[in-house]
Amino acid sequence: MGQAAHAGRGARCIALVGPYLSGKTTLLEAILARTGTVSRQGRLADKNTIGDSSAEARAHMMSVEMNVADVEFLGDHFTFVDCPGSIEFQHESAVALTACDAAIVVSEPDPKRVPALQLILKQLEDRGIPHMLFLNKIDKFATGVREILPVLQPASSKPLVLRQIPIWENGIATGFIDLALERAFIYREHAPSEVVEMPLDIKDRENEARFHMLEQLADYDDELMEQLLSEIPPPRDKVFDDLAQELQDGMICPVFLGSAENGNGILRLLKALRHETPFVDRTVRRLKLENAKSAAFVLKTMHTAHGGKLSLTRVLAGELGDGVTITGAKGEERVSGIFSLLGETPQKRGTAKAGDTVALGRLETIRTGETLTAEKGGINQIAVRPPHQAVFGVAIVLKDRKDEVKLTGALSKLVEEDPSLSLEHSQDTHQMVLWGQGEMHLRVALERLRRKYGVEAEAKRRQVPYKESIRASTEVRGRHKKQSGGHG
């Protein structure tokens, strides 16, 4: 599909999901560098990445919030949403996935990742979100792809369709063969892979892997099946059309290889995204908003030091302009500023059209997960799963009692940004208890409270209000003996 075919179809929104420490943020950095969005790929160890740029993320060397970045690749626009992998911070991605067009599941080629992958893939499958698997850190694993794929397959109800096979040299993956293109590539660190002659010793393995890929595609295409049975080589365009159609229909999960840290395999991944992932019109059909002339979905709420409240929003239908009045679940609000995001940096822009993911300014009554419209009469709200029930709580004790006035407002903003947090005032113990998804989740929340709002609080053990309950009636007899004599 050429550049002209994509004209006017809007930006696509792609989620990066995967197990903890699988390399999602590093993949985002590699994409930013390969598309020229940044001049040099950042490294988490150097604390110079676009994603995970908050003080809390850098202090703990992990993703603790969702990160967003807009890129342009060969004339097509994409918004990448980097979702935390730790189970304590996955609440944000559950909401954001609602309005994403597709997802890249990032994982190492490691059997130990199967349980985590199974949970992620099932969520995507249940919600009908097309997805592909990027096997990261391929340079650090000696396990052959032919051996690892059958181990990973039980994690997915969709066939894992291998798109590439590695070229090995002395036990190290030095390149790959693209099974759809039938071309060999050698990796170049932080540079496009180099096309080389097909190695003769790999030709048989390439033929076998390509035929298996075509067989998997033919399960959903009778014409392709007839061509294979008749031993007629299918046209290359036909193969790419099937790959795109079956991904968009949720029939297959393509598998790509690479090393995000070294920038390997990124260009082929981007080209697959450009040619094969669906546009916003397909997401609109999935969300049953085909008849809406104006619709948008709030992915995340942010309170910034200088810009006030920002609502990260995916425009699904129509256009939104600065100053327009929109209707949410609780009434009308006026948009005060439209911004693009690159990590935590907002950049003012004009109108936002269908497909764009933008931050809308100062929508005070709008909350994460709401469906918005510029049409009069409102719009039906997209069903959103509620946040996970809080499982861990700590009592909050202020270091300075003078901060009591600021505390309530600051905590309400934290909870608005992160609905999986909740606040409880215990009537029995007179403690203020902050609830969340785990110890790290609450630690980060208190660090954010100090950094963003200047309120310093300590986490203390919750007091348990033990109470006695009357369970059943009983009868007891006693005898009182009256004493006489003695000192009165």
Which string of DSSP letters, residue by residue, matches 74-107? Answer: TTEEEEEEE---SGGGTHHHHHHGGG-SEEEEEE
Tell me if 179 is assigned to some domain.
yes
Model-level pTM? 0.93
pLDDT of residue 321: 97
Instruction: Work out the widest C-alpha separation in the chain, in whole angstroms.
Output: 121
CA dihedral for 118, 23, 131, 182, sign (positive or negative):
negative
Residues 361 and 427 in one domain: no
Task: State whether 241 and 350 are in the same domain.
Answer: no
Of 314, 256, 281, which is closest to residue 104 (Cα–Cα)?
256
Query: Is residue 469 included in any domain, yes or no?
Result: no
- Does residue 194 sit in the same domain as residue 327? no
One domain for residues 332 and 267: no
Within a domain: residue 487?
no
Burial of 330 (0-12, 13-18, 19+ CB in 10 A): exposed
Q: Which domain holds residue 422?
A: 392-460
> What local confidence, expressed as pLDDT, does residue 2 receive?
42
Looking at per-residue pLDDT, the higher value among 404 and 260 belongs to 260
What pLDDT is stored for residue 144 in this prediction? 78
Please tell me the distance from the alpha carbon of residue 488 to that of residue 472, in angstroms, as a whole number: 41
**Structural domain tally of the chain?**
3
Query: How far is the C-alpha of 233 from the C-alpha of 394, rounded, in Å?
Result: 64
User: Where does 220-338 have alpha helices with state H?
Assistant: 222-229, 236-248, 266-276, 280-286
190 and 149 in one domain? yes
Cβ(148)–Cβ(111) under 8 Å? Answer: yes
Q: Is residue 385 part of a domain?
A: no
pLDDT at 482: 65
Q: What value does the mean pLDDT of the chain take?
A: 93
Domain ends where: 318, 340, 372? 372
Joined together, the tokens standing for residue 260 give 């995000």
Do residue 146 and residue 187 come from a single domain? Answer: yes
DSSP reduced 3-state for 229: helix
Please check whether residues 407 and 441 belong to one and the same domain.
Answer: yes
How sure is the predictor about 235, in pLDDT bands with cuts at 50, 70 and 90?
very high
pLDDT score of 473 more than 90: no
Do the domain assignments include residue 465?
no
Nearest to 23 by CA among 103, 88, 83: 83
Per-residue pLDDT, 344:
86
Residue 428 vs residue 1, higher pLDDT: 428
pLDDT of residue 451: 96
The residue type at 20: Y
pLDDT given for residue 483 in this prediction: 64
Residue 4 pLDDT class (50, 70, 90 cuts): very low
Mean pLDDT of 227-252: 97
Residue 235 sits in the same domain as residue 210: yes
Residues 71 and 182 in one domain: yes
Nearest to 63 by CA among 85, 81, 96, 35: 85
**Residue 137: how many CA atoms within 13 Å on its side-chain side?**
14
What is the per-residue pLDDT across 32-66, written as a single tens digit (0 to 9) for each?
999 999 999 999 999 999 999 999 999 999 999 99
Instruction: Check whether residue 112 and residue 214 sit in a common domain.
Output: yes
Beta strands in 131-225 (DSSP E): 131-135, 160-162, 164-169, 172-178, 183-188, 191-196
pLDDT band at 5 (very low <50, low <70, confident <90, very high): very low
CATH number where 113 lies: 3.40.50.300
Whether 474 maps to a domain, the answer reads no
The CATH number of the domain holding residue 400 is 3.30.70.870
Domain boundary among 251, 270, 285: 285
**pLDDT category, 210, cuts 50, 70, 90?**
very high
- Judge whether 161 lies within some domain: yes
Residue ending a domain, choose from 285, 320, 345: 285
- Mark whether 298 and 366 lie in a shared domain: yes
Do 69 and 215 share a domain, yes or no? yes
Rg of the chain over CA atoms, in angstroms?
A: 27
Q: Are 254 and 272 in contact (CB under 8 A)?
A: yes
pLDDT value of position 388:
85
Query: What CATH number does the domain containing 362 carry?
Result: 2.40.30.10
* Terminal-residue alpha carbon distance, the chain: 109
Residue 409 lies in a domain: yes
pLDDT on residue 19: 97
**pLDDT class for 307, splitting at 50, 70, 90?**
confident
